[in-house]
């Protein structure tokens, strides 16, 4: 029995194998996950039905178990307003820098060799994709057996 709120075996396995600098991609339901992810990344599909699970919910499950160093969001074309999902991410990730990338640059970043995990959600919001970079475990947080 695990004491963490994150119980998905595939996600836990991918995170256990990822280290400092590895990336985690959480996608909305519109993301081309079959073509715009790193070749070595594990892909976990949580898109059961439209809107049933969103990126923010997955982020909330990951944050207690994952040291996030930085994040990047996908932004709409110039002149379009910032999507509400991005404000949610900035609030939850207030302790780390959150950069912005246009759609094609975001796809390129997600195709990088250091992508360890892709979590595909059924988020129906547009531009709700989030790319996290894993940091290091803060000193003093390791509990010896």
**pLDDT number for residue 138:** 79
Mapping DSSP to helix (H, G, I), strand (E, B) and coil, where does residue 98 land? strand
Q: Which residue has the tokens 């995170």?
A: 15
Instruction: Tell me what pLDDT residue 89 has.
Output: 97
pLDDT computed for residue 144 by the predictor = 57
Between helices 55-62 and 84-92, what is the axis angle to 10°? 10
Pairing of strands 68-75, 98-102: parallel
pTM of the predicted structure, to 2 decimals: 0.94
What's the confidence (pLDDT) of residue 137? 83
- Which parts of the chain have pLDDT scores under 70? 1, 141-145
pLDDT value for 123: 98
Name the strand (E) or helix (H) holding 84: helix 84-92
Start-to-end C-alpha separation, the chain: 16
Give the strand pairing for 130-134 and 68-75.
antiparallel
Q: What pLDDT, on a 0 to 100 scale, did the predictor assign at position 4?
A: 85
Query: What is the per-residue pLDDT for 74?
Result: 97
pLDDT of residue 139: 78
């Amino acid at each position: 029995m695990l004491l963490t709120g994150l119980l998905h075996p595939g996600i836990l396995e991918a995170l256990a194998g990822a280290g400092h600098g590895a990336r985690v991609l959480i996608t909305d339901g519109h993301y081309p996950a079959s073509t715009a992810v790193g070749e070595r990344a594990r892909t976990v599909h949580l898109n059961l039905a439209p809107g049933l699970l969103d990126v923010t919910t997955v982020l909330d499950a990951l944050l207690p178990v994952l040291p996030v160093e930085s994040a990047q969001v996908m932004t709409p074309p110039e002149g379009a307003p910032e999507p509400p999902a991005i404000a949610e991410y900035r609030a939850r990730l207030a302790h780390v820098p959150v950069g912005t990338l246009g759609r094609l640059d975001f796809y390129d970043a997600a195709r990088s060799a250091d992508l360890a995990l892709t979590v595909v959600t059924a988020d129906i919001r547009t531009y709700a994709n989030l790319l996290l970079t894993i940091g290091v475990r803060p000193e003093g947080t390791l509990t010896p057996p």
